[in-house]
Amino acid sequence: MSNTTQPVLILYSHGRNPPLHPPPDLKYDLRSIPNPPKPLRDVSDGRSKRLREHLLAKPKFVARLKSVEEDIVAAMQSKLAKREIQLKENAKPSNDDAKDPQLKEEEEVEEDADESCDEPTLEDALSNDVVLRVGCNCALGHHRSVVFVCELAS
């Protein structure tokens, strides 16, 4: 496993209920953006090219998208900076260096015996990563929030 810190962005499109678990770091309510016309909503969801084009033609939608993109960049930079500080603090020499080499070797053997042969989990895979979760919701989570998340992801 690599010790390199990787930024991971997780985008959620959802309705208002139930609450997400784990909760997003950033939350955006898109209900203030006008809904697309009902005939368009009836035949498409947020993945539809026509629906995306309709919403991207709305200045309020585009302005909100740009604002959220800026928030995400700032939040990720902040999380990465905090992670770098943590890594630097963990890299400082500890008092273990002053221990007797014989004792250190015995401790390593004990630690090896305690480790299991389980498959790595998703949490293990993300342990060195900086994860930012962003939740975007509208009334039902089928149209505005889906388009919004698709645009953020692209």
pLDDT in tens, 108-143: 544 444 444 444 445 544 566 899 999 998 888 779
Residue 55: how many CB atoms within 10 A of its CB?
25
User: Identity (one letter) of the amino acid at 42?
Assistant: D
What is the rounded distance in angstroms from the CA atom of residue 13 to the CA atom of residue 46? 10
Angstrom distances, CA of residue 3 to CA of 75, 78, 84, 131: 22, 19, 12, 15
Reported confidence tier of residue 16, pLDDT bands at 50, 70, 90: confident
| Helix (H/G/I), strand (E/B), else coil: 10 | strand
What are phi and psi for residue 128, nearest 5 degrees? -95, 0
Residue 46 has pLDDT above 90, yes or no: no
What is the rounded distance in angstroms from the CA atom of residue 147 to the CA atom of residue 120? 34
pTM of the entire predicted model: 0.71
Token pair for 147? 């388009």
Residue 95 has pLDDT above 70, yes or no: no
What is the rounded distance in angstroms from the CA atom of residue 142 to the CA atom of residue 68? 19
Token pair for 17? 């209920």
Cα angle for residues 20, 29, 78 (degrees, 5° grid): 75
Token pair for 48? 């539809």
Beta bridge partners, 7, equal 130
| Helix (H/G/I), strand (E/B), else coil: 80 | helix
